Amino acid sequence: MTEYPINLDRHRGMAAQKATEIRRLLVEVEANEQALRDRQQELETQLLVAPAACWPEAADKARYLLKLLAATPIGQDPRRQKLIADVVEDFDRLTRSGGGGNANSNSDEPEEKPDTYL
């Protein structure tokens, strides 16, 4: 027995080497996909734990949902892609500017808050 592993790929033909490499890559891709699904599940669990405490947190949750929608066949429609991009851009702009108030309001008075939220 030797101290070093033997590289069996050297002794295989090119087609066998290629098939082995494809099998290895498929196993790696499947493992990465499972890890991604697990992390996505963790994220969704965290997003469900508590309601957003502020507008930027709510926008982050909405961004996540919009990314999921964009990846579906219905989200591939060019008009929907533009709408999704515009909404995400609005979220970014309003979050940076600390917006969230009434865009039509010209006064410095705080906006009236509704008695109930839907």
**Residue numbers in the chain where pLDDT is lower than 50:** 102-118
**Number of Cβ within a 10 Å radius of residue 94:** 16
Instruction: Please report the pLDDT score of residue 30 as a whole number.
Output: 96
Length of the chain: 118
Cβ count within 10 A of residue 69: 15
What is residue 1's predicted lDDT score, i.e. its pLDDT? 60
Per-residue pLDDT, 9: 65
User: Which pLDDT value is given to residue 77?
Assistant: 96
* Cα distance between residue 101 and residue 103, in whole Å: 6
Question: Residue 106 is encoded by which pair of tokens?
Answer: 């010209």
Does the model's pTM come out above 0.75?
no
